[in-house]
């Protein structure tokens, strides 16, 4: 997998996410963040999770992955 960074980074309630790898980790991690993804996950979560992995493999554009992540954040009500 390759390292990809999106510009500008995505801010989630004060947590800065620089790319698909960090986004995937944020979505799946249960520890290490003061903010966690809600226990119940919706369809946008699944799409974003798949898009993050695909972007790291070069199968999805970074723009598409970022858009999917944004939709998942909205669905989880993690945006302001």
Q: Using one digit for the tens of pLDDT, what is the confidence trace for 50-73? A: 999 999 999 999 999 999 999 999
Tell me, what's the pLDDT at 67?
96
Q: Is the pLDDT of residue 1 over 60?
A: no
Domain annotation covers residue 5: no
Domain annotation covers residue 46: yes
> Domain span at residue 66?
10-75
Query: What is the 8-class DSSP label of residue 31?
Result: S
Domain annotation covers residue 56: yes
Q: Which of 31, 37, 40, 34 is nearest to 69 (CA)?
A: 37
Tell me, what's the pLDDT at 32?
58
d(CA 35, CA 13): 8
Domain annotation covers residue 4: no
11-46: pLDDT as tens digits = 988 889 999 999 999 998 866 556 778 888 999 999
């Amino acid at each position: 997998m390759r390292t990809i960074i999106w510009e500008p980074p995505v801010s989630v309630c004060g947590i800065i996410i620089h790319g698909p790898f960090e986004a995937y980790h944020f979505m799946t991690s249960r520890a290490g963040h003061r903010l966690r993804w809600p226990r119940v996950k919706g369809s946008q979560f699944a799409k974003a999770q798949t898009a993050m992995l695909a972007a790291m493999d070069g199968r999805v554009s970074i723009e598409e992955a970022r858009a999917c992540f944004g939709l998942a954040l909205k669905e989880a009500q993690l945006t302001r």
